[in-house]
């Protein structure tokens, strides 16, 4: 049974592991080794993860008391992150996390949810009725990453 709850600071080791492993194993087909290395280095900045948990709507998905995914919402209607453990993909965790994030934005009075998504996750978001606003390059630690700005009317 999937349980969704708000993240706590104690979840950071699980969250950063999922973040790193997801990028390494799932996104590797769409990004270079150097891009993967730079992107996964974001797992090491614990202060940023603490800030996200304390200042965002940040939720985790659990299966048998093990964190298997997470998502977070910033600025009220910016879907800032969605990651599911590589061994738990295509089991409904991502969709459940997404629906709760969407519900939270709607409850706060927003009619549109926005996100920047990777090449890898674009098909998942499109399958959930997100529309591409534009394709763009995003600079992260000196490297350009191809991403998509998407939105969904709630």
All domains in the chain, ordered by first residue: 2-110 (3.40.630.30)
The pLDDT of residue 125 is 97
Q: Tens digit of pLDDT for each residue in 35-79?
A: 999 999 999 999 999 999 999 999 999 999 899 999 999 999 999
In whole angstroms, how far apart are CA 133 and each of 59, 74, 82, 113, 151?
A: 26, 19, 19, 12, 7
Phi, psi of 104 (to 5 degrees): -65, -45
Give pTM, 2 decimals.
Answer: 0.94
């Amino acid at each position: 049974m999937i349980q969704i709850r708000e993240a706590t600071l104690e979840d950071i080791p699980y969250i950063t592991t999922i973040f790193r492993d997801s990028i390494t194993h799932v996104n590797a087909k769409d990004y270079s080794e150097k891009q993967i290395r730079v992107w996964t280095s974001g797992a090491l900045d614990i202060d940023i993860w603490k800030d996200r948990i304390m200042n965002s709507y940040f939720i985790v998905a659990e299966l048998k008391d093990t964190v298997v995914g997470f998502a977070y919402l910033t600025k009220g209607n910016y879907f800032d992150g969605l990651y599911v453990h590589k061994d738990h993909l295509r089991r409904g965790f991502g969709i459940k996390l997404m629906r709760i994030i969407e519900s939270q934005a709607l409850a706060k009075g927003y009619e549109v949810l926005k996100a920047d998504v990777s090449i890898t996750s674009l098909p998942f978001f499109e399958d959930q009725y997100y529309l591409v606003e534009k394709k763009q390059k995003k600079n992260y630690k000196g490297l350009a990453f191809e991403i998509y700005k998407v939105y969904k009317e709630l």
